[in-house]
Structure 1
Amino acid sequence: MFNTPLPTVNELPSTRKLVRSTVIAMLVAAGLLVTVVMPSEYAIDPTGVGRALGLTQMGELKIILAQEALADAAAPQASAPAPQVAQVQLVAKPAPQSEATSAPALKTNQITVTLKPGEGKEIKLEVLKGKTVSYAWTALGGPVNYETHGEPYNAKKGYFHSYGKGKQVKDNQGEFTAIFDGTHGWFWRNRSNSDVTISLKATGDYLSVKQ
């Protein structure tokens, strides 16, 4: 056994050296904590050194594995499948259509009048406001002058509304919508030297035909 002599007072480190050594050790430990421990264990890399050394990726992998382990432990055991319940689909029956909502029945009339030379005649339909009539007429024997117009019930003498007119026309077709309750129709005049027959077909929601 060897006896080592005790160091003298001069050989012992001073307080200043001890403090400096302690500070250096703390700085080294802090540096290792920030650059090595925190990236590798917690994926925290404030300096970027850990990622450059591959330590941050290691920490990220550890965190993922830990989360998966917790999820597996918390997952409930598979229970027996719930019994299936038969689904019944209800089919709604169409509601019967009421007579009030059905479309009104349209009237159709085929009318023929003959005009002697210089003679004028008219055919009128009794139509209520807002109702529409479509028509087509042809003059056989020569062209005629015509006007499509309407007169309200109890109209003042000479008052009428014109829907259209023309001279020396052999045929015409179209439709009009009554702007008032009254009689609406056509007036023709034969200005030729021979008889002309007008053949008219009218279809629409009107009440009656007046000649």
Structure 2
Amino acid sequence: MFNTPLPTVNELPSTRKLVRSTVIAMLVAAGLLVTVVMPSEYAIDPTGVGRALGLTQMGELKIILAQEALADAAAPQASTPAPAPAPAPAPQVAQVQLVAKPAPQSEATSAPALKTNQITVTLKPGEGKEIKLEVLKGKTVSYAWTALGGPVNYETHGEPYNAKKGYFHSYGKGKQVKDNQGEFTAIFDGTHGWFWRNRSNSDVTISLKATGDYLSVKQ
């Protein structure tokens, strides 16, 4: 039926060649098993080649998906609660509408009372003195003072709590002044007030009136 000639004995592979081919095939199969099949199917990668080729990650993903499927199958299904019986209709009762009268509104809280102090100090020739008020940031103090006996040099200034030595903020100053009035708003928490120095040859008395939202007076 077929005209193909049969191979001769010389053309057939020898036993040695068959054994060698078999061994090579087994080694190739083992290599594929270790580097491809085991990493991609079971995430087992003893050589590290599977992770380099991305096959180990594929096997890890398969294992995670299988575990999630088993967990979903094992989870008990929540039973649907039976519907609650409908409540019986309540007897009709005549409703009486009550109108509540609004409570009288309390008067607005009055602003805190301002303090007022009248203070007098006497300066000898060449002497300097100061009066300070303890004032918090944003609070305002109005004042007026007069010098009896001669003009004085003055400065209105403030120092914050725990200020560095020599640091102060000046609100205003003058030389050879007999009186001054105005107001200041504290720019920080601390002591704020006045310093006077008598440069004349006679005593000078300073009379100060201060009104405002301050905590205390310091001399």
The DSSP-based 3-state class of the residue aligned with 1:50 is: helix
List per-residue Cα deviations over 1:113-147 (Å, max 9, x = no partner).
00000000000000000000000000000000000
**Deviation for aligned residue 1:101:** 3.5
Q: Which has the larger radius of gyration?
A: 1
State how far apart, in whole Å, the 1-side matches of 2:121 and 2:151 are.
Answer: 14
Counterparts in 2 of 1:73 and 1:136: CA distance versus 1, 3 Å: same
1:142 maps to 150
State how far apart, in whole Å, the 1-side matches of 2:50 and 2:164 are.
Answer: 104
Q: Which moved more, 1:67-76 or 1:82-91?
A: 67-76
Q: Which moved more, 1:180-189 or 1:31-40?
A: 31-40
Counterparts in 2 of 1:72 and 1:14: CA distance versus 1, 3 Å: same
Counterparts in 2 of 1:145 and 1:95: CA distance versus 1, 3 Å: farther
Percent same amino acid at aligned positions? 100
**Deviation for aligned residue 1:104:** 1.1
**Deviation for aligned residue 1:168:** 0.1
State how far apart, in whole Å, the 2-side matches of 1:119 and 1:53 are.
Answer: 93
The DSSP-based 3-state class of the residue aligned with 1:101 is: coil
Q: Which moved more, 1:78-87 or 1:153-162?
A: 78-87
State how far apart, in whole Å, the 1-side matches of 2:18 and 2:114 are.
Answer: 117
Q: Which moved more, 1:160-169 or 1:49-58?
A: 49-58
RMSD across aligned C-alpha pairs, in angstroms? 13.3
Counterparts in 2 of 1:118 and 1:29: CA distance versus 1, 3 Å: closer
The DSSP-based 3-state class of the residue aligned with 2:108 is: helix
1:121 maps to 129
Counterparts in 2 of 1:155 and 1:56: CA distance versus 1, 3 Å: closer
TM-score (norm 1): 0.54
State how far apart, in whole Å, the 2-side matches of 1:48 and 1:87 are.
Answer: 83
State how far apart, in whole Å, the 1-side matches of 2:202 and 2:178 are.
Answer: 14
The DSSP-based 3-state class of the residue aligned with 2:180 is: strand
Counterparts in 2 of 1:42 and 1:98: CA distance versus 1, 3 Å: same
| Matched positions, count | 211
Counterparts in 2 of 1:25 and 1:167: CA distance versus 1, 3 Å: closer
Counterparts in 2 of 1:36 and 1:157: CA distance versus 1, 3 Å: closer
State how far apart, in whole Å, the 2-side matches of 1:2 and 1:119 are.
Answer: 141
**Deviation for aligned residue 1:102:** 2.0
**Deviation for aligned residue 1:88:** 20
List per-residue Cα deviations over 1:79-102 (Å, max 9, x = no partner).
999999999999999987769832
Q: Which runs of 5+ in 1 are unaligned?
A: none
